[in-house]
């Protein structure tokens, strides 16, 4: 019985690895067995390139994996120098080219950090890692590929700077192939063949962290009383007394001058660098107000917590857009890169409007980041879940085209998703997931959420809108990149969802390599009788398969979410 269960679980990793199958361990080649580059490279996405880059001698997976990561580090340094070379002559470049190059520099710097961290791990051992440690490194190597693609997307959008595109695109493409080899070899040598996963047991919601959606320091009607009870280095107790959040320091942002700072950016600047999780959060309490700021939380502002006075009370707003010369990446009103970030009770807006096309409210590239009881408001590209591991709970997300997009490993739980009225000749795609490599551990999981047409879309559907636009068609998602992966499970889908459910990106692009799934959804939009028939679309009937997309399995969330104090459900409901 146990062996059958293991085989079922292994088969379910078709979802997680795209093309895996349940095979007995007897047919697996040990990572320590010497082999040729030709044989080893057969398991990578681009065998020909892999064979050309690895040394032509016999070694095992660990030997080749370490070689590939070392070479990746060398190439990352060269690329960073190349970007700096272009930026030194920024006066001769267009503003759009400079902005794209600045994005690339940030992303290249992160890539070097991620590679150096990964090498520390692979250089220490020639054995399969623990699930948690393997997930950490696979997440970093996955993000490196995402960063490469983001840089390329930005550079290709600089139509007036042919020399920049010509000089950057080729090394970008070659380095991306090399990083893909590093990810593939790491997955083969260091990642456990079987994750320690659990199968579905129907025991109810089982919230972890603060019960009843309440946090002891949630700044509601009692915010002042609660705030005044928080002392330096105190443990903040939940109402139920079964969880705690460690806070290192607290500062207040208030526009009337009564707090420590009048702007959010000043408070972020004052936060200590590289705070360890064990030292507690640096908590920024942002009082009610409209904050017209572009906030960027850099990679060294680790373990920062930001709490507002509530949705539509504490509002951070901006209006940058691609039409106005920004890249999608740097159009964000609020951007976070530092690991361990937590936001609670804040509205994030981009007010550029549908007419300005891509205009991001929040860009999140922060590992182990959490947004709780927040609102994200925009039109096209509202919420950029860019990379790494992310969790959203009881949030509201508004938008039109691709308004939840990116290539993070992300779970949305108990959120409200509001498709809005789009421009004429546009349609709503709720998700545009950007997975580019079958070994990336990324995807969008939408769990126990509600998809409901926003008021303007409802009015247009009822014929009561003042707009001349026809009612906008709404789809669950479309494949932005080749291995796009999105699952809706145990969610309520209203009648705004088109019967086919999903939309093509361009012809048959990615329709056989994507993974789109639906499981036990409800509501008029959940009827699957007329869904798309693409090879990559799945109507999931097995709870053990869809369990791979739960907080417990997809994010290993039980390991890091409790310290945030945010409620979450580990498994299915």
Query: Range with the lowest mean pLDDT among 113-122, 158-167, 218-227, 458-467?
Result: 218-227
**Alpha carbon distances (Å) from 68 to 35, 54, 73, 320, 343:** 16, 7, 9, 39, 37
CA pseudo-torsion sign 458, 461, 466, 467: positive
**Which pLDDT band holds residue 223 (cuts at 50, 70, 90)?**
very low
Query: Cβ distance 143 to 388 under 8 Å?
Result: yes
Would you state the pLDDT for residue 194?
Answer: 77
Q: Please, which pLDDT band fits residue 247 given cuts at 50, 70 and 90?
A: confident
Q: Are strands 492-493 and 450-451 parallel, antiparallel or unpaired?
A: parallel
Q: Output the pLDDT for position 69.
A: 98
Catalytic-residue membership of 402: yes
pLDDT at 1: 40
The per-residue pLDDT for range 330-349, each reduced to its tens digit, is 999 999 999 999 999 999 99
Inform me whether the pLDDT recorded for 218 exceeds 90. Answer: no
Three-point CA angle 437, 338, 548, nearest 5°: 40
User: How far is Cα 441 from Cα 307, in angstroms, rounded to an integer?
Assistant: 30
- Of 3-12, 20-29, 234-243, 511-520, which range is least confident? 3-12
Q: What is the DSSP string of 25-79?
A: GGGSPPTTS-B-HHHHHTTSS-HHHHHHHS-SS-B-HHHHHHHHHHHHHHHHHHH
Q: Say which range, 28-37, 38-47, 331-340, 361-370, has the weakest mean pLDDT.
A: 28-37
Coil vs helix vs strand at 304: strand
Summarize the confidence of residues 253-276 as an average pLDDT.
95
Q: Residue 373, by phi and psi: left (phi above 0), alpha (psi -120 to 50) or beta?
A: left
Exposed e or buried b for every residue in 461-496, given b needs 16+ CB within 10 A? beeebeeebebbbbbbbbbbbbbbbbbbbbbbbbeb
Q: What is the 3-state secondary structure (H, E, C) of 460-495?
A: HHCCCCCCCCCCCCEEEECCCCCCCEEEEECCEECC
Give the residue-averaged pLDDT of 546-551: 96
Range in 50-59, 190-199, 293-302, 339-348 the model is least confident about: 190-199
Please tell me the least confidently modeled range out of 106-110, 145-149, 161-165: 161-165
pLDDT band at 163 (very low <50, low <70, confident <90, very high): confident
Q: Which pLDDT tens digit goes with each residue over 127-144?
A: 999 999 999 999 999 999
pLDDT band, residue 193 (cuts 50/70/90): confident
The per-residue pLDDT for range 359-395, each reduced to its tens digit, is 999 999 999 999 999 999 999 999 999 999 999 999 9
Sole residue written with tokens 């990964």: 118
Share of the chain above pLDDT 90, in %: 76
Strand-pair category, 281-286 with 235-237: unpaired
Residue 231's pLDDT band (cuts 50, 70, 90):
very low
Domains with residue ranges and CATH for the chain: 37-190 (1.20.140.40), 288-457+472-564 (2.160.20.10)
pLDDT greater than 80 at residue 183: yes
pLDDT in tens, 427-467: 999 999 999 999 999 999 999 999 999 999 998 877 765 55
Per the residue annotation, which of 402, 437, 456, 545 is the catalytic one?
A: 402
Give tens-digit pLDDT for 66-87. 999 999 999 999 999 999 999 9
**Mean pLDDT, range 466-484, rounded to an integer:** 84
Q: Are 269 and 307 in contact (CB under 8 A)?
A: no
């Amino acid at each position: 019985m146990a062996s059958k269960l293991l085989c079922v679980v292994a088969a379910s990793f078709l979802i997680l690895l795209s093309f895996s199958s349940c095979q007995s361990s007897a047919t697996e080649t040990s990572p320590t067995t010497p082999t040729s580059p030709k044989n080893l490279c057969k398991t990578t996405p681009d065998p020909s390139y892999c064979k050309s880059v690895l040394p032509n001698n016999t070694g095992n997976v660990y030997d080749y994996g370490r070689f590939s990561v070392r070479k990746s580090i060398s190439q990352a340094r060269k690329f960073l120098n190349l970007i700096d070379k272009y930026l030194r002559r920024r006066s001769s470049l267009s503003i759009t080219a400079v902005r794209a190059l600045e994005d690339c520099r940030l992303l290249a710097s992160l890539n070097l950090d991620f590679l150096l961290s990964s090498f520390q791990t692979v250089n220490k051992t020639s054995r399969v890692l623990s699930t948690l440690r393997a997930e950490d490194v696979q997440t970093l190597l996955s993000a490196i590929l995402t960063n490469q693609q983001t840089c390329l997307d930005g550079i290709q959008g600089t139509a007036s700077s042919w020399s920049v595109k010509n000089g950057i695109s080729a090394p970008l493409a070659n380095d991306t192939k090399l990083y893909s080899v590093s990810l593939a070899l790491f997955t083969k040598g260091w990642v456990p063949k079987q994750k320690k996963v659990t199968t579905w047991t129907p025991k109810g919601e089982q919230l972890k962290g603060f019960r009843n959606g309440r946090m002891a320091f949630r700044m509601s009607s009692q915010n002042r009383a609660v705030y005044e009870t928080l002392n330096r280095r105190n443990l903040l107790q939940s109402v139920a007394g079964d969880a705690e959040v460690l806070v290192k320091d607290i500062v207040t942002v208030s526009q009337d001058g009564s707090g420590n700072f009048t702007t959010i950016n000043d408070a972020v600047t004052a936060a200590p660098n590289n705070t360890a999780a064990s030292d507690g959060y640096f908590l920024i309490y942002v009082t009610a107000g409209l904050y017209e700021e572009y906030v960027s939380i850099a990679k060294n502002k680790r373990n920062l917590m930001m709490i507002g006075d509530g949705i539509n009370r504490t509002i951070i707003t901006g209006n940058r857009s691609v039409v106005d010369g920004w890249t999608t990446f740097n159009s964000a009103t609020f951007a976070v890169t530092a690991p361990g970030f937590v936001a609670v009770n804040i509205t994030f807006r981009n007010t550029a409007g549908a007419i300005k096309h891509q205009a991001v409210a929040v860009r999140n590239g922060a590992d182990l980041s959490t947004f709780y009881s927040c609102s994200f408001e925009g039109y096209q590209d509202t919420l950029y879940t860019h990379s790494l591991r992310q969790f959203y709970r009881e949030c509201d997300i508004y938008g039109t085209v691709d308004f939840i997009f990116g290539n993070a490993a992300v779970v949305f739980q108990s959120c409200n998703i509001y498709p809005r009225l789009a421009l004429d000749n546009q349609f709503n795609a709720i998700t545009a997931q950007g997975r580019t490599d079958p070994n990336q551990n990324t995807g969008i999981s939408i769990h126990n959420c509600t998809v409901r047409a926003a008021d303007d879309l409802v009015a247009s559907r009822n014929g009561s809108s003042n707009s001349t636009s026809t009612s906008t068609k709404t789809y669950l998602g479309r494949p932005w990149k080749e291995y796009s992966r999105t699952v809706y499970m145990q969610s309520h889908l209203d009648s705004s969802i088109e019967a086919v459910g999903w939309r093509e990106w361009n012809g048959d692009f990615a329709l056989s390599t994507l993974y789109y799934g639906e499981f036990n959804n409800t509501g008029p939009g959940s009827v699957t009788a007329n869904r798309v028939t693409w090879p990559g679309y799945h109507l999931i009937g097995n709870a053990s398969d869809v369990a791979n997309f739960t907080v417990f399995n997809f994010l290993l969330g039980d390991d890091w979410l409790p310290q945030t104090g945010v409620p979450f459900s580990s498994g299915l409901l």
